[in-house]
Structure 1
Amino acid sequence: MTTLFIVLLCIIALVLLISWVKLNPFLAFLLVSIGAGLSLGIPLDKITTSVQKGIGDTLGSLVIIIGLGAMLGKLVAESGAAQKITQVLMRTFGEKHLQWALMVTGFVVGIPLYYNVGFVLMVPLIFSVVYQYKLPAVYIGLPMLAALSVTHGFLPPHPSPTALVTQLKADMGLTLVYGIVLAIPAIIIAGPLFSKTLRHIRSTPLQIFQTKVIPDEQMPNAANSFLTALLPVLLIAITTSIPLIIILLNKIPSVHLVLRGPALQFISFLSDPVIVMLLSLLAATFTLGIHTGRSMKAIMDIYGEAIKDVAVILLIVAGAGVLKQVFTDSGVSKAIAENIKGWQIHPLILGWIIAGIIRICVGSATVAGLTAAGIIGPVIPQMHVNPNLMVLSIGAGSLLFSHVNDSGFWMYKEYFNLSIRDTIKSWSVMETIVSVVGLIGVLIMDLFI
């Protein structure tokens, strides 16, 4: 319990430094992380190693994606493509149902796309609606982000659910089907229904996405706009589907196809989010840049402005990575899990609680899910519980109450330019609703499966 108390003090200190002292969040993360390392027993000569590893591991996977995504988003906004997409959506669904259109888009995009990539790609679409129709940013945007979050926590082929399926010896196909059934009510409740209570939250999103209204004759056509903006989604969906299609075809007796050697490596290469984003940006440079009459210098100026605007976000995300790494290196997640391992409650609820507590303390949904699976996995045979439902239960728990030690919390806060209080009232509560509804859904499904 001493470890849990130290973690609680660190989180309180972080909140106070940022909200009361008004310290830059990156500096606050560094100070609290060093203090946490000292308090949790990390040797003095290893603390800076944890700091550097936390920054490196976090930015190593995010800096390219966020940078390229910001460039693509800026070009989509500046070229008028986002405005054209918004016009088409508004005509198709009407302003009254635009939330639902964005929510469905977020769910479809979120299935093949890693969360951070989906977030960066969808934010310009959200903000184009906000600026053009003067609608509240949080009210409009939260349903789409709820959909992205649910797919990240519940559905393969996302990293955590996929790893959980392997660790818990579940069935990938059944988990995906059960997860989609579970995701629908979670997204609706945490998205359109919950966001109705948030109309009063004022948000002035980053200037990077605020563009002047472009005349119709200067905008790219609808096909160009949709295809370019959604090209990353299409590329990942195609490269992800090829192996699955081959597996299905191989079930036909007369068909025998195998992906091996160079072909397998090529598909794997193309499906990497970094390569997908790079190819998409290169395509957009032509379709939304050169093709619309812009010079290469003008396009590069747009990209340069995009990078300047997301630099602060990258530092804050790196700071969150430092705190997560310190907690990981100090053994916090394992210590917490061992303290509650012996609780006598329903196995599905136990998995959800273990993942949820680790998530709250450590911040990473992936770390929370994998740590919980490592504890629950060995005893599943004795629990007599459906492993597919356990994957979903742990996945739901890993989304519980995202706050100041989660990089997703800071991405949302900084992109939407909100106070910490309003971020907690909207983002943190939304994540908690997704988590709780997910648990309730799993328990209901357990009665029939």
Structure 2
Amino acid sequence: MSSAYLISITVLAIALVIVGVTWFKWHAFISLSVASILLGLAAGLPITKIAIDYEQGVGDILSSLLGILALGTILGKMMSESGAGVQISNFFTRAFGERNLPWATFFAGLIISIPVFFEVGLVILLPLVIAIQKTTKKNLLLIAIPMISAMSISHGIVPPHPGAMAAIGIFHADVGQVLLYSLIVTLPAGIIGGPLFAYYISKRVKPETEPKVVAANVSATTYPSAGVSFFTILLPIFLMVGTVIVPFTPMPSQLADVLSFIGNPLIALMISVFVAYYLLGIRQGISRKLINKLTGSSLAPLASIMMIIGAGGAFKQILISSGVGDAIAQVATEWQLSPLIMAFVVAGLIRIATGSATVALTTSAGIIDPIIVHMTGINLPLLVIAIGAGSLMFSHVNDAGFWMVKEYLGLSVKQTFKTWTVLETLLSFAAFFIVLIINLFV
């Protein structure tokens, strides 16, 4: 089959994913699965081969992600229930003072967002933000926008969040390097979309209604100290970063093996969860029975995310087997398109169309992966971050985050476009611009 035909049916398959989610209101898992099967049929794959490839694609991506996402979710739940998130927020508020509240909420959001989903972080921090606003009488956006910016950029590009881990799994990128680069990108990009944008927009937009206050959900009888809170939340990051220094630091082979083992994302998160069970749970008066209940309840929301990621892996495998990846690679080589630019644009278009950063990350990584097989000199960690940056672009009415921010902050639809949509787009392009700069030097 010609390259033009293979590329055409791929474009139609992607369009089907978009139409399925937006028009037919299918779950992204269903849209991706149907598109994968129809793409395989259109590409002339035997029906038995399509079924095998689907199973292989799902298995390959989920085998490396399931435990990581589950443990990360449990850690986030323990942080929420123990009051550790509130402690971190209070620490930054005291440290920065009322005059610099946007910076306080930014750094609080950045720290808290590392192990938790965006929605969870929003629920943890929003009661504190609203309490600060009522005390200081400042525009709520001045305090809330930096926090939201920090959580959004972290959710989009920093491991162990689902999208970043899915792209890492598809590209077989080094987790430690992705983490290191993502932290370098996150800070300046988050500041642009956070405190700096907050100072600008808070002078021009004021929420129309009172925000919907979300009660803090704390089960502990006493809060852990700020030091314990910081240590527990940052522990998996410290452990994973340790794997980066192993190749560059002379040390006994046994020590290098130990550091590599405990720096594996699964092991690092497992260690951190047990530390959290004790420091944020038992030590704070949460019973073992309640800890078990919290663990179970934290895993339920993962089902939908894992289904989407699995179907994205299947879509990728069908692309490989059908030869679409080779066809797109040939065209990309002829046009001399940069894989980083291609990844950013593809992820951005899918995000705009579907409203899901996870779908954008998984699908675009599956599209780009077969293309780069025949290319050399590609920085895979930066490629992961470029896709993550694209997945944040131009959030609008088809994104659940759009409506969460609108309702929680008391904004109108028009105001949400002026604040949340602009914020997400600023984060997207700022992060990608920083990726391009880093790529010049590494």
TM-score, normalised by the number of residues in structure 1: 0.67
Instruction: Structure 2: state its 5+ residue gaps.
Output: 131-139, 160-166, 351-359, 394-398, 407-412
8 Å CA contact retained: 2:236, 2:272:
yes
- Alignment correspondent of 1:132: 128
CA separation of 1:267 and 1:164: change in aligned 2, threshold 3 A? closer
- Alignment correspondent of 1:329: 321
Structure 1 residue 191 displacement after superposition? 5.4
Q: What is the alpha-carbon root mean square deviation over aligned residues?
A: 4.9
Q: Does 1:402 align with 2:391?
A: yes
- Alignment correspondent of 2:217: 212
Structure 1 residue 238 displacement after superposition? 3.8
Q: Does 1:268 align with 2:234?
A: no
Q: Distance in 1 between matches of 2:242 and 2:228?
A: 19
Q: Distance in 1 between matches of 2:69 and 2:127?
A: 22
Q: Distance in 1 between matches of 2:79 and 2:402?
A: 16
Instruction: Give aligned pairs, total.
Output: 388
Structure 1 residue 351 displacement after superposition? 4.5
Q: Does 1:233 align with 2:237?
A: yes
- Alignment correspondent of 1:259: 252
Q: Distance in 1 between matches of 2:89 and 2:333?
A: 49
Q: Does 1:293 align with 2:297?
A: no
- Alignment correspondent of 2:96: 93
Q: Tell me whether 287-296 or 231-240 shows the greater mean CA deviation.
A: 231-240
Instruction: Structure 1: state its 5+ residue gaps.
Output: 110-116, 153-157, 166-171, 248-257, 381-386, 405-411
Identity within the alignment, %: 25
Aligned letter for 1:53? Q
8 Å CA contact retained: 1:351, 1:397:
no
- Aligned runs of 1:7-406 on 2, under 5 Å? 7-94=10-97, 100=103, 118=114, 120=116, 124-134=120-130, 140-146=147-153, 149=156, 186-189=189-192, 211-212=216-217, 218-244=222-248, 246-247=249-250, 258-260=251-253, 262-343=254-335, 350-356=338-344, 363-364=361-362, 374-377=373-376, 398-399=387-388, 401-402=390-391
Aligned letter for 1:129? L
Aligned letter for 2:237? V
Deviations 1:218-276 (A, max 9, x none): 211111111112221122234543553x34xxxxxxxxxx432x433322211111111
- Alignment correspondent of 1:407: none
CA separation of 1:354 and 1:222: change in aligned 2, threshold 3 A? closer
Aligned letter for 1:226? F
**In structure 1, the residue corresponding to 2:334 is in which secondary structure?**
coil
Q: Distance in 1 between matches of 2:48 and 2:391?
A: 31
Q: Tell me whether 182-191 or 224-233 shows the greater mean CA deviation.
A: 182-191
Aligned letter for 2:32? F
**In structure 2, the residue corresponding to 1:341 is in which secondary structure?**
helix
Q: Distance in 2 between matches of 1:96 and 1:356?
A: 37
Deviations 1:408-441 (A, max 9, x none): xxxx95899699x999957984675146524764
Structure 1 residue 301 displacement after superposition? 0.6
Structure 1 residue 73 displacement after superposition? 0.9
8 Å CA contact retained: 2:61, 2:313:
yes
Structure 1 residue 315 displacement after superposition? 1.9
Q: Distance in 1 between matches of 2:11 and 2:39?
A: 10
Structure 1 residue 394 displacement after superposition? 5.7
Q: Distance in 2 between matches of 1:418 and 1:41?
A: 45
Q: Distance in 1 between matches of 2:125 and 2:332?
A: 46
CA separation of 1:76 and 1:124: change in aligned 2, threshold 3 A? same
Structure 1 residue 363 displacement after superposition? 4.7
TM-score, normalised by the number of residues in structure 2: 0.68
